[in-house]
Amino acid sequence: MKIAVYPGSFDPVTNGHLDIIERASRLFDVVYVAISSNPEKNHSFSVGKRVNMLKSSVKGFKNVKVETFTGLLVDYAKTKKARSIIRGLRAVSDFEYEFQLALTNRKLAPEIETIFFMTDYKFSYLSSSLVKQIAGLGGDVRGLVPKGIEKELSRKEQ
């Protein structure tokens, strides 16, 4: 089986994330969307809420599983028998950071390959941070996030 892990904070999941999940689901038998618990980040939604939002957003993909993990990504990938880590690139500005992560992961687990997905041009500007900022200022996030997430963001800002 071809198994991949797509890690991130997904705070919240955006249509850009879903684009990458959908494309990865066509290439791999199983895709684990792995929500990291990064204590250095100030998350808007709890881990449990992010899991629920992601599960509702990917329910149409039969080979996509949503989980959380702590610790090193490569250790989590090994527990899932994943041979690939999926990372999304929006712009050249993402590349340096992602390149550093990929090389570090290769050093830690040379048997696991990092595969970069270029986001669809429609989502190249989109980030969870931008979505939260727009929602926080009362802006319209339609088309940026799945419908259920729109409701969660408007509920959070009330």
The catalytic residues are: 17, 41, 90, 128
Q: CB burial class (10 A; 0-12, 13-18, 19+) of residue 19?
A: middle
Q: Does residue 7 have a cis peptide bond before it, meaning omega lies within 30 degrees of 0? A: no
DSSP string, 8-76: E--TT--HHHHHHHHHHHHH-SEEEEEEE--TTS--SS-HHHHHHHHHHHSTT-TTEEEEEE-S-HHHH
Do the beta carbons of residue 69 and residue 35 sit within 8 Å?
Answer: yes
CA distance 24 to 8: 15
